[in-house]
Amino acid sequence: MRIFDVTKTLNNGVKIPVLGLGVFKSGQNTKRAVEYAINIGYRHIDTAAVYGNEDQVGEAVKSAGINRKDIFITTKLWNDDMRNGTQRQAIEKSLELLKTDYIDLYLIHWPVKGKIAESWAVMEEYYTKGVLRAIGVSNFLESHLDELLSYASIIPAVNQVECSPFLTQEPLTEYCVKKGIAVEAWSPLAKGVALTNEVILEIAKKYNKTAAQIIIRWHIQNDRIVIPKSVHEERILSNSLVDDFELTIEDMNRISALNENRRMGSDPNNFNF
């Protein structure tokens, strides 16, 4: 089976392709990158309102000429809309920019203190209406999930968190798995920094694969959804060529042992945006 056709079934039965294309900081290249990705077989795109490129994602999906139901689109509720109480407007705006009448997966982007309950209630309402096929969270630690689960009617389908060989997120993953929440890895390549790690390069040589392919395969074999970003066609293509080999348990463990709980992005308990 091609990697593009491999899906994970979320806790509400919705299927998400395990490999997606991330478009954070893809800028004006977003439309071209997404069109190319769809043309070679990607069926999952990860964007967010704050990335400012939902319109380009929507255009690319239209111009790629595939059925809307054959592509999985994730977008996210931005912090300002949580603080300002404009969650409904935010969802409507994303739908308009994406040129679609539904979103496959809608996430709370960051755990904005004191605003999670109200935001989740609006998301549950849109989920119930069928506008959001699945709802989830991003950058939630156990404490944030504990809070949300204490009042949620709908359990989040996904927690999208920073995860890479330098930040393997084992305790949080164990918690999520126990609660039926799928783990999705953002900055899966540690923003490219992990690509020059010696252990990764040594393993890459052994399998005759690129460092990125080794890391992406490691995420997938760890049962994570993974959304590497690139605006370069050769990388978008090569990042998807991960279905013709399998890492041994020893090599999986060697990569996991690179963990140093090192974040490239912000701490979910202490972010300033």
What residues act catalytically?
51
Q: What is the dihedral of CA 238, 220, 136, 60, to 10 degrees?
A: 20
Closest approach, Cβ 160 to ligand NDP, in A, equals 5
Site for ligand NDP in 213-232 (CB under 6 A): 227-232
Q: Is 46 in the site for ligand NDP (CB under 6 A)?
A: yes
Structure-token pair, residue 248: 């041994």
Tokens of 123: 């998301």
With beta carbons less than 8 A apart as the criterion, state whether 20 and 45 touch: yes
What track of x and - describes contact with ligand NDP for positions 21 through 40 (by CB under 6 A)? -xxx----------------
Pairing state between β 103-108 and 132-138: parallel
Q: How far is the CB of 116 from ligand NDP (least distance, A)?
A: 15
CA dihedral 140, 196, 233, 247 (to 10 degrees): -70
Beta carbon of residue 145, minimum distance to ligand NDP (angstroms, whole number) = 15
Q: Tell whether residue 98 is a contact of ligand NDP (CB under 6 A).
A: no
d(CA 178, CA 203): 31
Nearest to 21 by CA among 10, 32, 8: 32
Residue nearest to ligand NDP (CB): 22
CB of 190 to ligand NDP, least distance (A): 6
Question: Which range binds ligand NDP by CB under 6 A, 89-97, 126-134, 170-178, 183-191?
Answer: 183-191
Residue 195 in the binding site for ligand NDP (CB under 6 A): yes
Give the Cα separation of 63 and 193 in Å (integer).
33
Which residues bind to ligand NDP, rule: CB under 6 A?
22-24, 46, 109, 138-139, 160, 186-192, 195, 210, 212, 227-232, 235, 238-239, 265
